[in-house]
Structures are given as structure tokens and as C-alpha cells.
Chains A and B, each alone.
Chain A
Amino acid sequence: MKQIFKISTVFLMIALAFASCNNGKSSKSNSALSSNVAEKVYVAPGEYDEFYAFISGGYSGNLTVYGLPSGRMFKEIPVFSQFPTNGYGYSEETIPMLNTSHGFIPWGDAHHPDISQTNGELDGRFIFMNENNTPRIAKIDLTTFETTEIIEVPNSAGNHSSSFVTENTEYVVAGTRFSVPIPQRDMPINEYKGNFQGALSFIAVEPEHGGMEIKFQVLMPGFNYDLSHPGRGKSHGWFFFTTYNTEEANSLLEVNASQNDKDFIAAVNWKKIEDYVNNGGGTMMPAEYAHNVYDETTHKATSTIIKEVRVINPSEVPGAVYFLPTPKSPHGCDVDPTGEYIVGNGKLSANLTVHSFTKMLAAIEGKKFDGEAYGIPILKFEDVLAGSVEQPGLGPLHTEFDDKGNAYTTFFISSEVVKWKLGTWEVIDRKPTYYSVGHLTIPGGNSRKPQGKYMFAMNKITKDRYLPTGPEMEHSAQLYDITGDKMELLLDFPTHGEPHYAAAMRADIIKERSKKIYSLAENKHEYAAKSDADTKVVRQGNDVHIYMTTIRSHFAPDNIEGIKIGDKVYFHVTNLEQDFDVPHGFAVLGQNNSELLIMPGQTKTSVWEPTKVGVWPFYCTDFCSALHQEMQGYVRVSAKDSNVPLKWSLGDDF
């Protein structure tokens, strides 16, 4: 025993000596370094972040808003998924937002947010985001952070090479990942090759209000169209799409779609096709897709099913589409700020391939083709190649750009971000990510003017970054300072769902456009009660409409009688507040859908079909004032055959 004690004392002393020695050495540099790093991400209480990042939630269907450099999460914006937190997709007004040609769909797989642009710069008006599973494109209004429009994309399947905007937001573009029979029909799967097609959809965006309309679809060969980006500057008017599975395999793609040494980047001259369409070109084909629009004055969404869409076969417009051979199943398709370089991130390739737009034009001019695929000319690889980054890492996926002529590429397999120089193709720096990075984002990165300063990597695998309580953990993201030659890791922060890409921009541009309340005077909801004088309860057969108001801290009316079993009760709740950040909530016991969260000046409706006789309370779910706990009421539910008269009141005043 004594001996053990002795031994351990000796060990302890040695350990202490070592530790203090270590500390002495590293504590200076380490603490100086880490306090320096801490200062770089510190945003003092009450201060704002310099940048806002909009990170897709993947299978959450939604979009989250983060601050940079703090990594603070500010909001989850419901887009493609029902959101009981505020009643999106549950309230009568928002149910139509999730309507599709396949009926109401409560969920979506959100992928690539992209911010609207004017003259190639992010203007902070809208953000667009694609739904991969049941192909749709959503528009979120950045003045309110609310989803205001969703359009379904017909003839598409696995809406993945989306939703990227051209440099004046002329179009938001949506390409299909899976090719399918167009039109859809009952046919054997193994007759895929030569029969399936892939639709690239160009959705026109109305300049003033941002209304979306499918202008045309280009029906391409049955490859997989993986990602895309618009040309900009000199290449404005073109759009580039990576393809894989040019083998046109319909099974075991893991092997069968990795046979060809090179797949293609499809270069589409959309200006040329637009001219053709404006002159009456293309064919209207029968289709069925939903177009859902939320109106900020009626506070209500409407869903319209559209029955036809204009399609173009590339052969109709000679010179509009070319293929650029690109090694090994390229994933990301990224265009640098000048519009000259098109990066194909060949995910199974050792090298990173960069094409030159200038060389591409010259090759087209010189008609130097290397054959054709389904009538589409294939350019010669050597003729369009600008250069390649030699063996930068394993499994390149995506590239973003800073404002100094550098590119940053993620490598999934080797878990790192590699910084390299455009034009010289030399690798400048590499930094590990934790772990298995997918996308990365630089504020303003997908525009003519990247706003630089930070880059963040969105990782697919978390492992030891947080407590190992799982098996599933929120994915980790890492923020890097990119102002110097070398990247510097600053911060870890968790993300929600599975982020596939994010768009980020300067926060001050968003701030100056922010909308704080909805004007009560402009509220045109058909069931709005805009003052207490408008409150009432109206029975129409079994439908009972309650025109209700809320203000700190009461509902009007707050006593309601004469409801019967079998009734369908519509609580139309108008928030009379005209002050910033004073929402009220509404919940009634036994509500089968979700609560409502009603913004100042807004009207929302919850349907309640009571199943039990009794006196049931309703209350405000959002702590609104010191008297929030007093903000409640009762609704009396009588038997089906009862003759309790319809009655409503607030205090003795009604």
C-alpha cells in the first residue's frame, strides 16, 4: 500500500513537472491565440452579426438563419414542412402552400438556397430554395423571413441541380437529378436508356414582386443533372449543369454510373432559347403542377393547378446546348466571380477540372467537336480545359470563391477545405474539417462580388464534436477566417437537419429592408376583425365562424357558447397590435392541428372540431405581457341536439 502510494506520488510529481513545463510553453501562445480567435467570433450582447447565413435544413424541409461570425441561430423559417411552432401548414391560410399535384405534402427535402441578385450582386430581396423529393421551388421574402411562394416543377424528379439564380434574377433554374419518362407513363424500367429524359426548367421571376412562372423546360438526354450555376459577367446568358450517369444506368448506379472516364458539363445558352421562346418557339405539353402564392394583405395562400408547360428539344435551337467533357461524375458546378472559369468537381477524380468560358466560345466558333450525344455537340476536353488542380485531395464536391482570385474546394473523403489560386492552379493552403465536409459557403460567394472575410464548411458527420449521445447528432459546421493567406479555424457550431448548401450576405442590407409589423389598415383577410366592434360569432349550418381579436392581454370574445358536437369551428384570430415583436398565440384544448402564432396586424385561422361536451379553455401561447397568464377564455360545447343559443361576450361589455 505504502509502496503504491510512493510510486504514485513520484508519477504525480513527474506528471506535474511535465504539465507545468508544457503549460509554460504553450499557455502563452495558446491562450494568446485562443483569446485572439475568441475575439474574432465574439459579438457583444446587443450587437449584430456582420453577416447572415441562410442554411438549408435538408430533410427538415426548412431554412435556418444564422449569424456570422457568432454562429448564433436566429430563426427557423418553415418552407416545405409543416411547422407547429407557428401553425405554418396547419392554419387554413397556409395549408395551400403545401399543396402539389400529388395532393397535400407535409414535408420536403430542402437543398440549395440562393439569394436574388441585381447586376450580379446579392440584393437581399428574396431567397429561393429547391425541394428535392417532390420537385418544387420556394421563394422566401427576406423582408419578413416568410415563405411567400412555392411552384411545383413538372417533368422533374429529384430536383437537385437547383435553385440558382441568374445575375439579374431573370430566372431561377431547376434541373432534374433523376431522368424519367416525359410525359410520365407506365413502361418497363429497364427500357430507361434512350427513352427517359431530364428536364432543365427555367422559371422566370417577375422583376417587381418576384412572382415565379415556368417559362420553358429544356428536355435533355436521360442523364443525371447534379448541380448547376449561372454564368456571370462575360458568361451571363449561359447556365452550366454537371451530369453523371451518362451511362444511363437504371440499377446499381454505384457501379454502373461510374464506368465512363468522363461525364459532361452541359452548357446551356438560355438567352438563345429565350429568344426562340419569345418568338413562339417550343411546344406546350400537358402537365399538372401547383403554383402556391401567399398574399401579405389577405394573409392567405392560394393554390392553383396549372395544366401545361412549354418544352424545348435542344435540337430545335441549334447552338444552344453543348457538352464539355469533365472527368469522373462531377458533383459541384461552380462559376468564378468573373464568369471565366467553370469548375467541375469530379467526385471520383484525382484532379479538379476547370474549364474556360473563352476557350469554350472559341471551340464552338471553330466547330471543333468530339462527336455528339443525342444530337448535342460534344466539345473536345483539351479545347475547353483552362487547367486542373493536381491531386488536391480526395472526393472534391463544391467550390466557392473569395474576392481575391482564390477558390476554396471541399473534399469529402479527406475531410478538408483546400484553397487554391485561379489561373495558376496552385494549392495555397489546406485545413481539416470535422468531419466529411459537403458544401461550403462564403458570403456573396455565388456572385460577381464575394463579400469574403469568412468561409464556413457544413459537415456531414459530427462524431466527437459534441457529447457522443446519439446515435444521431446535429451536423457540425466550422467557421474559418479567410482574410489571410492561410485559413484559420475559428468556431464550431451545430446546424439543424442536414444542411445542403447555404447562402450568406451582409446583414446591413437585410436590416434596412426589414418589415417589423403587418399594417392592420391593409389587412384584407375576409374573416378579419379589425376592431372589437367587428368581433362576432356566425353560424352557417355546421360551420361556426368566430371573428376574434387579440391584444395585450385578452381575446375578444373570451366567452363563447352555443357550439355543438359536429360543428366545424373556425377561430379567425386577428392580432390588433401594431407594435414590433408582439405576436399572440392561440390554442384550444383538444386542437387536432397546431397552435397559431399571429403576428401584429395579421389574421390566422385554426379549425377545431370538438368531440366532447364540456367547457374548454383557450389561451395565448406566446408570453406577451405581465398579464399573459390572464389571457384566456372558454368555449362551451353542447350536445348535438341541444338548444343552447349562440352567445359571445367579453366582460360585461358585449
Chain B
Amino acid sequence: MKSIVTILSILLTISLMSCGSKEEKKKEGFSYEQKSKPESTVQAPTKTVLASQRVDLTNKGIGPITSIELNTEVSQEMALQGEGIYKKMCTACHRPTKKFIGPAPINILERRTPEWVMNMILNPEEMLQKDPLAKELLAEFNGAPMANQNLTQEEARAVLEYFRTLK
């Protein structure tokens, strides 16, 4: 009888404890008003620049693209082809000039190497697991993973060219 009482009280303590920790968690991480607050407040707790704003022109990412040369002049033909692919395969999550499910590609080459961009398109699973920037981006965009849309290297290259035309 005594032992039953002991067991029961232990169980009770455990369940109470777990109850408590849940509540604490809620207070810690969640705020229902978050959405209506201005952007700066959301950013306030993090001191560093958000991954999407950070400039890193050395990281080439992980994937099939190791080195790529961009012509100084944008190929309009290739960009047009890229725009078509982008509209079909990417717009479900990316708007050209504003943040949507994922980040906006406008001015991306001022922040990323072309290799990194193409590797993110062609090899998102590994990038999200191993590339530090990609990992941070995943967290910044609420854990929405970049989908692998199975583009060919040529298609991804055309999409990159299209990104260069965004203003």
C-alpha cells in the first residue's frame, strides 16, 4: 500500500512538472501579437544581421556547382528563359521583389555568390543540412524548407540570369 502511494506521488510530481515546463515554454517563445508588430521589433532580440540580409560573397555552398563565370553583360535570351522557369517552378514560394514563403531573389548577387545560389536551387536538402547560411535561413523562414524542384543545371543557370535582371 505504502509503495503504491509512493509510486502515485512520483507519477503526480512528474506529470505536474511536465505541465509546468510546457507553460513556461509558451511564455518564452510565443506571442500572439507578433504579426501586427513592426518588423524591427521582431528583429530586436537578435543582435546579428538576419541571414537573408547578410552579405557573404565567398561561400560557394555545397553541391554540383563549384565555379561559375558570369559575363558582364546579362544575356536577355537566357534571362527570359529563366523567367519562364521561375514562374512555373518557384513562384509558389518566392516573389521576385518581396519576402513571401521564402526570401526575395532581388539583388541576390550583391549578397551571395552565383555558385551558392545555384547550389541552393539544385541541392537544397544537403544545403539545409550542412551550409551554415542555408541553415540559418531555414530558421529565419519559419522552418519552411527550400523544395528541390529538380531543375537541370542549365535551367538553374537561366534562373540565375533572370535574377540579375530584377530591379
What is the chain B residue whose CB lies nearest that of A582?
B147
Partner of A627, one of B87, B142, B148, B150: B142
Give complex CA distance A430, B126 in Å: 54
Could you list some 7 contacts between A and B, CB below 8 A? A532-B91, A556-B92, A576-B89, A578-B89, A627-B142, A651-B100, A653-B95
Whether A553 sits at the interface, judged by CB under 8 Å, is yes
A651-B100, A653-B100 known; A578+B144 contact, CB < 8 A: no
> For the complex, is B145 an interface residue (Cβ under 8 Å from A)?
yes
**A552 B145 Cβ-Cβ under 8 A:** yes
Whether A577 contacts B100 in the complex (CB less than 8 A), given A520-B89, A531-B87, comes out as no
B101/A521 in contact, CB under 8 A: no
C-alpha gap A626/B89 in the complex (Å): 21
Query: Of the candidates A521, A531, A556, A579, which one forms a contact with B147 in the assembled complex, judged by CB atoms under 8 Å apart?
Result: A579
Which residues of chain A from 183 to 215 have a CB within 8 Å of any chain B CB?
none
- Report the separation of the CA atoms of residues A496 and B100 in the bound assembly, to the nearest whole angstrom: 46
- Are the CB atoms of A627 and B143 closer together than 8 Å? yes
CB-CB nearest 9 A-B residue pairs = A551-B92, A578-B150, A579-B148, A578-B149, A626-B143, A532-B91, A576-B92, A531-B88, A531-B91
- From B143, which residue of chain A is reached at the shortest CB distance? A626
Q: Which residues of B contact A313 (CB under 8 A)?
A: none
Complex interface residues of chain A between 538 and 574 (CB less than 8 A to chain B): 549, 551-554, 556
Residues of A within 8 A of B133 (CB): none
Interface contact A551-B93, CB-CB below 8 Å: yes
Within 8 A of A (CB), among B25-51: none
Which residues of A lie under 8 Å from residue B149 when comparing CB positions?
577-579
Residues of A within 8 A of B93 (CB): 551
Residues of chain A within 8 A (CB-CB) of B100 are 651, 653
How far does the alpha carbon of A520 sit from the alpha carbon of B79 in the complex, in Å?
A: 21
Give the distance to chain A from B90, nearest Cβ to Cβ, in Å: 8
Instruction: Give the B-binding residues of A (Cβ under 8 A).
Output: 517, 520-521, 530-533, 549, 551-554, 556, 576-579, 582, 625-627, 651, 653
Assess whether B92 is in contact with A578, with CB atoms less than 8 Å apart. no
What separation, in Å, do the CA atoms of A576 and B100 have in the docked complex?
Answer: 17
Task: Determine which of B87, B142, B145, B148 lies in contact with A578 in the assembled complex, contact meaning CB atoms within 8 Å.
Answer: B148
- Given known A-B contacts A554-B101, A627-B142, A653-B95, A517 and B87 have beta carbons under 8 A apart: no
A627 CB contacts on chain B under 8 angstroms: 142-144
CB distance from B72 to the nearest CB of A (A): 31
Residue of A nearest to B150 (CB): A578
Residues on A with C-beta less than 8 A from B101 are 554
Which B residues touch A576, using CB under 8 A? 89, 92
Q: Please provide the chain B residues from 62 to 98 with a CB less than 8 Å away from any CB of chain A in the complex.
A: 87-89, 91-93, 95
Distance of B79 from chain A, by nearest CB (Å): 18
Known A-B contacts A531-B91, A554-B101; A517 and B145 likewise in contact (beta carbons under 8 Å): no
A625/B150 in contact, CB under 8 A = no
For B, the interface residue count at a CB cutoff of 8 angstroms equals 18
CA distance A532 to B88 in the complex (A): 8
Q: How far is the CA of A56 from the CA of B145 in the complex (A)?
A: 39
Identity of the chain B residue whose Cβ is nearest the Cβ of A554 in the assembled complex: B101
Q: How far is the CA of A626 from the CA of B139 in the complex (A)?
A: 11
Contacts known (A578-B148, A651-B100); A520 close to B88, Cβ less than 8 A? yes
In the bound complex, how far is the Cα of B145 from the Cα of A626, in angstroms?
Answer: 8
Q: How far is the CA of A627 from the CA of B142 in the complex (A)?
A: 8
| Most B CB within 10 A of own CB, among A532, A554, A582, A625 | A532
CB atoms of B92 and A532 under 8 A apart: yes
Which residue of B has the minimal Cβ distance to A626?
B143
Chain B residues in 8 Å Cβ range of A577: 147, 149
Question: Given the complex of chains A and B, what is the CA–CA distance between A579 and B123 in angstroms?
Answer: 11
Give the residue name and chain of the A residue nearest to B141 (CB).
A627
Residue among A531, A579, A625, A626 making CB contact with B92, cutoff 8 Å: A531
- Residues of B125-167 contacting chain A, CB below 8 A: 142-145, 147-151
Give the distance in Å from the alpha carbon of A112 to the alpha carbon of B92 in the complex: 44
- Report how far A355 CA is from B88 CA in the complex, Å: 63
User: Which single member of A521, A533, A626 contacts B91 (CB below 8 Å)?
Assistant: A533
In the complex where A579-B150, A653-B95 touch, is A521 in contact with B88 (Cβ < 8 A)?
yes
Contact A517 B150 (CB under 8 A): yes
State the CA gap A625–B100 with chains docked (Å).
17
Q: How far is the CA of A651 from the CA of B91 in the complex (A)?
A: 14
Measured between alpha carbons, how far is A219 from B26 in the docked complex, in Å? 76
Contacts of B88 in A (CB 8 A): 520-521, 530-531
Q: Name the residue on B nearest A551 (C-beta).
A: B92
CA distance A533 to B148 in the complex (A): 20
Distance A448 CA – B102 CA, assembled complex (angstroms): 56
Q: Would B87 and A552 count as touching, CB distance under 8 A?
A: no
CB distance from A555 to the nearest CB of B (A): 10
B150 contacts across to A, CB distance below 8 A? 517, 578-579
In the assembled complex, the CB of B73 is this many whole angstroms from the nearest CB of chain A, namely 29
Nearest-Cβ distance from residue B120 to partner chain A, whole angstroms: 14
| Residues of the B chain whose Cβ atoms lie less than 8 Å from the Cβ of A530 | 88
B12 nearest CB across to chain A (Å): 30
Known: A531-B87, A579-B148, A651-B100. Contact between A549 and B92, CB under 8 A? yes
Task: Please provide the chain B residues from 89 to 125 with a CB less than 8 Å away from any CB of chain A in the complex.
Answer: 89, 91-93, 95, 100-101
A270→B144 CA distance, assembly (Å): 60
**Docked CA distance A379–B143 (Å):** 76
Q: Cα distance A520–B145 when bound, in Å?
A: 20
| B145 touches which of A533, A554, A556, A625 (Cβ 8 Å) | A625
A653–B104 CA distance with the chains assembled, in angstroms: 14
A174, chain B: closest CB distance, angstroms: 40
Quote the shortest CB–CB distance from A560 to chain B (angstroms). Answer: 17
Residues of B within 8 A of A552 (CB): 144-145, 147
**Complex Cα–Cα for A552 and B149 (A):** 11
Q: In whole Å, how far is A562's beta carbon from the nearest beta carbon of chain B?
A: 23
The residue of chain B having its C-beta at the shortest distance from the C-beta of A552 within the complex is B147
User: Closest residue to B93 on the A side, CB-wise?
Assistant: A551
Give Cα A651–Cα B92 distance, bound, in whole angstroms: 12
**Chain A residues within an 8 Å CB radius of B87:** 531, 533
Residue of A551, A582, A625 contacting most chain B CB atoms (<10 Å): A551
Q: Which residues of B contact A626 (CB under 8 A)?
A: 143-145
The answer to whether B148 touches A625 (Cβ under 8 A) is no
Which residues on the A side are within 8 Å of B145 (C-beta)? 552, 625-626
Q: For A554, what are the chain B residues with a Cβ–Cβ distance below 8 Å?
A: 92, 101
* A-B contacts besides A556-B92, A578-B149, A627-B143, 9 pairs, CB < 8 Å: A517-B150, A531-B87, A531-B88, A552-B147, A554-B101, A577-B147, A579-B150, A626-B144, A653-B95
Of all chain A residues, which has the CB nearest B95?
A653
